Protein backbone atom coordinates (compact mmCIF):
# COMPACT_ATOMS: atom_id res chain seq x y z
CA UNK A 1 0.00 0.00 0.00
CA UNK A 2 1.28 3.40 -0.94
CA UNK A 3 0.18 6.79 -2.14
CA UNK A 4 1.43 8.01 -5.48
CA UNK A 5 1.68 11.80 -5.42
CA UNK A 6 1.69 13.24 -8.92
CA UNK A 7 2.42 16.94 -9.07
CA UNK A 8 1.87 19.02 -12.17
CA UNK A 9 5.19 20.78 -11.74
CA UNK A 10 8.21 20.81 -9.45
CA UNK A 11 6.86 24.07 -7.99
CA UNK A 12 4.38 21.90 -6.02
CA UNK A 13 7.10 19.96 -4.14
CA UNK A 14 6.71 21.78 -0.80
CA UNK A 15 2.95 21.24 -0.88
CA UNK A 16 3.51 17.54 -1.62
CA UNK A 17 6.01 17.24 1.22
CA UNK A 18 3.27 18.33 3.65
CA UNK A 19 1.12 15.45 2.42
CA UNK A 20 4.05 13.02 2.58
CA UNK A 21 4.93 14.03 6.15
CA UNK A 22 1.42 13.29 7.38
CA UNK A 23 1.28 10.04 5.39
CA UNK A 24 4.41 8.97 7.26
CA UNK A 25 2.58 9.52 10.56
CA UNK A 26 -0.08 7.05 9.39
CA UNK A 27 2.61 4.57 8.31
CA UNK A 28 1.87 4.97 4.61
CA UNK A 29 4.67 5.04 2.05
CA UNK A 30 4.51 7.40 -0.87
CA UNK A 31 6.29 8.15 -4.09
CA UNK A 32 6.39 11.59 -5.67
CA UNK A 33 6.29 12.05 -9.41
CA UNK A 34 6.23 15.12 -11.64
CA UNK A 35 4.03 14.94 -14.73
CA UNK A 36 1.57 17.26 -16.42
CA UNK A 37 -1.67 16.29 -18.11
CA UNK A 38 -1.25 19.29 -20.39
CA UNK A 39 2.45 19.06 -21.18
CA UNK A 40 3.44 15.40 -20.64
CA UNK A 41 0.26 13.30 -20.86
CA UNK A 42 2.13 10.20 -21.99
CA UNK A 43 4.31 10.39 -18.85
CA UNK A 44 1.16 10.56 -16.71
CA UNK A 45 -0.14 7.44 -18.43
CA UNK A 46 3.19 5.68 -17.82
CA UNK A 47 2.93 6.44 -14.10
CA UNK A 48 -0.63 5.15 -13.93
CA UNK A 49 0.31 1.95 -15.75
CA UNK A 50 3.32 1.44 -13.49
CA UNK A 51 1.09 1.25 -10.40
CA UNK A 52 -2.22 -0.03 -11.76
CA UNK A 53 -1.67 -3.56 -10.39
CA UNK A 54 -0.70 -2.39 -6.90
CA UNK A 55 -2.70 -1.23 -3.90
CA UNK A 56 -2.31 2.50 -4.38
CA UNK A 57 -4.18 5.73 -4.04
CA UNK A 58 -3.23 8.45 -6.50
CA UNK A 59 -2.99 11.98 -5.13
CA UNK A 60 -2.87 14.70 -7.75
CA UNK A 61 -1.47 18.12 -6.95
CA UNK A 62 -2.05 20.70 -9.67
CA UNK A 63 -3.27 24.24 -9.61
CA UNK A 64 -4.49 26.66 -12.25
CA UNK A 65 -6.23 24.52 -14.84
CA UNK A 66 -6.27 21.16 -13.08
CA UNK A 67 -6.59 18.65 -15.90
CA UNK A 68 -4.29 16.26 -14.03
CA UNK A 69 -6.87 15.00 -11.54
CA UNK A 70 -9.54 14.19 -14.09
CA UNK A 71 -7.00 12.72 -16.51
CA UNK A 72 -5.60 10.38 -13.86
CA UNK A 73 -9.05 9.37 -12.64
CA UNK A 74 -10.29 8.64 -16.17
CA UNK A 75 -7.34 6.30 -16.74
CA UNK A 76 -7.26 4.26 -13.53
CA UNK A 77 -9.50 2.04 -11.45
CA UNK A 78 -7.73 3.24 -8.28
CA UNK A 79 -8.97 6.02 -5.98
CA UNK A 80 -7.80 9.51 -6.95
CA UNK A 81 -7.70 12.42 -4.55
CA UNK A 82 -7.20 15.88 -6.01
CA UNK A 83 -5.41 18.16 -3.56
CA UNK A 84 -4.88 21.38 -5.49
CA UNK A 85 -2.88 24.17 -3.90
CA UNK A 86 -5.37 27.02 -3.70
CA UNK A 87 -4.07 30.21 -5.23
CA UNK A 88 -5.01 33.79 -4.51
CA UNK A 89 -4.93 34.38 -8.26
CA UNK A 90 -8.36 34.73 -9.77
CA UNK A 91 -9.79 35.08 -6.24
CA UNK A 92 -9.19 31.36 -5.74
CA UNK A 93 -11.60 30.47 -8.53
CA UNK A 94 -9.05 28.21 -10.23
CA UNK A 95 -10.30 25.64 -7.69
CA UNK A 96 -13.34 25.17 -9.93
CA UNK A 97 -11.20 23.19 -12.39
CA UNK A 98 -10.81 20.58 -9.63
CA UNK A 99 -14.48 20.51 -8.68
CA UNK A 100 -16.29 20.27 -12.01
CA UNK A 101 -15.69 16.97 -13.79
CA UNK A 102 -17.46 15.30 -16.68
CA UNK A 103 -19.65 12.27 -16.07
CA UNK A 104 -17.68 9.12 -15.37
CA UNK A 105 -14.73 11.03 -13.90
CA UNK A 106 -14.77 11.26 -10.12
CA UNK A 107 -11.60 12.32 -8.31
CA UNK A 108 -12.31 13.31 -4.72
CA UNK A 109 -11.23 16.84 -3.80
CA UNK A 110 -9.52 17.60 -0.49
CA UNK A 111 -7.96 21.03 -0.14
CA UNK A 112 -5.67 20.71 2.88
CA UNK A 113 -2.54 18.52 2.72
CA UNK A 114 -3.13 17.07 6.21
CA UNK A 115 -6.72 16.19 5.38
CA UNK A 116 -5.61 14.64 2.10
CA UNK A 117 -3.27 12.31 3.98
CA UNK A 118 -6.11 11.47 6.38
CA UNK A 119 -8.37 10.59 3.43
CA UNK A 120 -5.68 8.29 2.01
CA UNK A 121 -5.30 6.69 5.44
CA UNK A 122 -9.04 6.09 5.73
CA UNK A 123 -9.07 4.36 2.33
CA UNK A 124 -6.21 2.05 3.32
CA UNK A 125 -7.58 1.70 6.85
CA UNK A 126 -10.54 -0.26 5.52
CA UNK A 127 -8.25 -3.29 5.27
CA UNK A 128 -5.33 -2.38 7.54
CA UNK A 129 -5.72 -2.51 11.32
CA UNK A 130 -2.44 -0.66 12.01
CA UNK A 131 -3.55 2.29 9.91
CA UNK A 132 -6.97 2.27 11.60
CA UNK A 133 -5.20 2.52 14.96
CA UNK A 134 -3.15 5.49 13.74
CA UNK A 135 -6.35 7.17 12.51
CA UNK A 136 -7.93 6.69 15.92
CA UNK A 137 -4.79 8.08 17.60
CA UNK A 138 -4.91 11.09 15.26
CA UNK A 139 -8.59 11.71 16.02
CA UNK A 140 -8.08 11.41 19.78
CA UNK A 141 -5.21 13.91 19.59
CA UNK A 142 -7.32 16.35 17.58
CA UNK A 143 -10.14 16.10 20.14
CA UNK A 144 -7.67 16.58 22.96
CA UNK A 145 -6.33 19.76 21.31
CA UNK A 146 -9.83 21.23 21.36
CA UNK A 147 -10.56 20.17 24.92
CA UNK A 148 -7.27 21.57 26.20
CA UNK A 149 -7.87 24.86 24.38
CA UNK A 150 -10.95 25.53 26.47
CA UNK A 151 -10.79 28.91 28.20
Say if CB 26 and CB 138 are below 8 A apart.
yes
9 is in an annotated binding site: yes
Q: Please report, in tens digits, the pLDDT of each residue of the chain (151 residues total).
A: 999 999 999 999 999 999 999 999 999 999 999 999 999 999 999 999 999 999 999 999 997 788 999 999 999 999 999 999 987 777 667 777 788 888 999 999 999 999 999 999 999 999 999 999 999 999 999 999 988 887 7
Model confidence, pTM: 0.93
Predicted pLDDT at 81: 98
Q: CATH for 2-148, among 3.20.20.70, 3.20.20.140, 3.40.50.1970, 1.10.3720.10?
A: 3.40.50.1970
59 burial (CB, 10 Å; 0-12 / 13-18 / 19+) is buried
Domain boundaries in the chain?
A: 2-148
133 is in an annotated binding site: no
Side by side, which strands form the sheet with 108-109? 29-34, 2-7, 56-61, 80-82, 108-109
Amino acid sequence: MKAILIMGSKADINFCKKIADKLAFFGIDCEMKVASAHKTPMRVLEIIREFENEDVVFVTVAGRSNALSGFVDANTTKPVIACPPVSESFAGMDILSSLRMPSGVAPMVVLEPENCALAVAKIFGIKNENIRKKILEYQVNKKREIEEAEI
